[in-house]
């Protein structure tokens, strides 16, 4: 394990010129970058990078080395930051007239036609109500995850439906086999009656595949990655680019330890399924381009990939919120009344995060990555690191108000 002192010394041993900053208004954002650097220098993060842009123009960018060097070419496991991308893919199909958000999931995934739901106990089940496509995207569908305290989580583990692992297991049978195994398990609650972080976006990925006739990664590449110039984003890292993959770290006992159990190398293997809940890898610039697109109504650098109305559908609270907000607020430690759930992410409903932050659409990943896009300001911010769990060093929470204040100060 790396102690905080050893961490700091190792960071100093990396090239002192590790800060790479390009800016039209660098002075405004110096405190933001200095605060992020302090997370690294104090040993709270292994390394970090940040990109701040407004209306597609990069205002500041920094790559801060720590226990290892990173740079613009570094690739990161973005885990749940995959969810907004897949949600955007679903909304793009709505824009194309290929489906409706209120369509029943069973229309595209007939394996889900006769689901059961837990009643008062695991051995007491009842028929589930129809699940809608939208409910896959805002975690109200009743599907849980293999971790956490859901009653059905142990059933998932027994069925081989283990987060971040099932897609590499040939016995699962890819995305279709995953859906069959999920359908054999009961839902945690009736669709639309509660909120739980789960596998909904994986099934949304299957919906995309069945409508488009393409593998999920190919569809997202054609619809978003290629036109936006996101050449480094995908569901695995080709061997030729293995040296670009940043290390993965875990916070333990007051220090940071490199993950070395083999899972850190999983991204170097092409999975049997493209996991819509958390399978993507990306670079700071690539994901920043996606965030730019959302912040600017579906267009970046003159290339439109979504209608403005579709972006609004994606990035504003969708459907009734009362049933989902209590569990969402506990999960994300959000102040009551501060957020709503959009499709694939949350949206800030007031300015308490900073001047002009109302309307901010945001989500993060298990290894501390995160982004937000604020259409009212044309603002996008992307932060990358590789430290689990995400709660170990809440850098985004510290940086968010500083970014808004710096932007407001600059007029």
Q: In which residue ranges of the chain is pLDDT below 50?
A: 2-25
Of 149, 18, 90, 159, nearest to 314 by C-alpha is 90
Give the range of the structural domain holding residue 314, as residue numbers without chain letter.
30-89+215-409
The predicted structure's pLDDT at residue 2: 46
pLDDT digits (tens, 9 = 90+) for 246-289: 999 999 998 999 999 999 999 999 999 999 999 999 999 999 99
Which CATH number do you get for residue 47?
Answer: 3.40.710.10
* Torsion angle, alpha carbons of 11, 250, 136, 175, to 10: 100
Helices (H) and strands (E) in the chain, counts: 13, 16
Q: Is residue 229 part of a domain?
A: yes
- Residues 386, 250 share a domain: yes
The predicted structure's pLDDT at residue 410: 83
Q: How far apart are CA 252 and CA 50, in angstroms?
A: 24
Q: How far apart are CA 382 and CA 349, in angstroms?
A: 20
- Residues 253, 114 share a domain: no
Q: Is residue 3 part of a domain?
A: no
- Residues 117, 208 share a domain: yes
- Residues 358, 225 share a domain: yes
The predicted structure's pLDDT at residue 26: 57
Of 338, 339, 351, 341, nearest to 377 by C-alpha is 351
- Residues 392, 291 share a domain: yes
Query: How is 46-60 classified by DSSP, letter by letter?
Result: S-EEEEEEETTEEEE
Residue that is written with structure tokens 């086999």 in the block: 177
* Torsion angle, alpha carbons of 150, 155, 160, 162, to 10: 10
Six-digit token string for 248? 């993965």
- Residues 361, 259 share a domain: yes
Q: How far apart are CA 308 and CA 81, in angstroms?
A: 21
* Residue % of the chain over a pLDDT of 90: 92
- Residues 136, 83 share a domain: no
Q: Is residue 349 part of a domain?
A: yes
Residue that is written with structure tokens 């997370």 in the block: 39
Residue where a domain stops, chosen among 180, 212, 244: 212
- Residues 276, 135 share a domain: no
Q: Is residue 9 part of a domain?
A: no
CB-based contacts of 96, cutoff 8 Å, min separation 6: none
The predicted structure's pLDDT at residue 254: 87
Domain count, the chain: 2
Q: How far apart are CA 73 and CA 243, in angstroms?
A: 10
Residue where a domain stops, chosen among 212, 239, 270: 212
- Residues 34, 155 share a domain: no
pTM of the shown model: 0.94
Q: How far apart are CA 338 and CA 320, in angstroms?
A: 16
Q: Is residue 243 part of a domain?
A: yes
- Residues 394, 366 share a domain: yes
- Residues 229, 189 share a domain: no
- Residues 330, 219 share a domain: yes
């Amino acid at each position: 394990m790396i102690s905080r002192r050893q961490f700091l010394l190792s960071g100093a041993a990396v090239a002192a010129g590790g800060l790479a900053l390009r800016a039209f208004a660098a002075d405004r954002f110096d405190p933001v970058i200095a605060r992020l650097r302090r997370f690294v220098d104090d040993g709270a993060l292994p390394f970090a990078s940040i990109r701040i842009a407004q209306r597609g123009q990069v205002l500041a960018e920094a790559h801060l080395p720590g226990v290892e060097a990173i740079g613009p070419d570094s690739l990161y496991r973005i885990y749940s930051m995959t969810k907004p991308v897949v949600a955007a893919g679903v909304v793009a199909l709505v824009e194309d007239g290929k489906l409706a958000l209120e369509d029943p999931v069973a229309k595209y995934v007939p394996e889900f036609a006769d689901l059961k739901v837990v009643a008062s106990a695991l051995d007491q089940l009842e028929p589930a109500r129809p699940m809608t496509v939208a409910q896959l995207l805002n975690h109200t569908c009743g599907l849980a995850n293999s971790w956490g305290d859901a009653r059905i989580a142990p059933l998932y583990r027994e069925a081989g439906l283990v987060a971040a692992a099932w897609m590499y297991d040939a016995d699962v049978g890819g995305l279709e086999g995953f859906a069959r195994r999920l359908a054999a398990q009961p839902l945690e609650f009736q669709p639309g009656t509660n909120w739980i972080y789960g596998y909904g976006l994986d099934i949304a990925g299957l919906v995309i595949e069945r409508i488009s006739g393409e593998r999920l990664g190919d569809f997202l590449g054609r619809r978003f990655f290629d036109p936006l110039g996101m050449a480094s984003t995908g569901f695995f890292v080709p061997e030729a680019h293995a040296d670009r993959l940043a290390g993965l770290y875990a916070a333990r006992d007051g220090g940071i330890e490199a993950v070395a159990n083999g899972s850190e190398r999983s991204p170097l293997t092409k999975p049997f399924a493209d996991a819509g809940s958390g399978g993507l890898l990306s670079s700071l610039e690539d994901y920043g381009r996606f965030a730019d697109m959302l912040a600017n109504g579906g267009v970046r650098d003159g290339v439109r990939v979504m209608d403005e109305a579709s972006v609004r559908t994606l990035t504003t609270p969708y459907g009734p919120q009362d049933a989902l907000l209590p569990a969402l607020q506990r999960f994300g430690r959000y102040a009551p009344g501060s957020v709503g759930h959009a499709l694939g992410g949350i949206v800030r409903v007031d300015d308490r995060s900073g001047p002009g932050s109302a309307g901010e659409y945001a989500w993060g990943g298990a290894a501390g990555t995160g982004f937000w896009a604020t259409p009212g300001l044309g603002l996008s911010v992307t932060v990358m690191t590789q430290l689990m769990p995400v709660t170990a060093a809440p850098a985004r929470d510290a940086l968010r108000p500083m970014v808004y204040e710096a932007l407001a100060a600059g007029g």
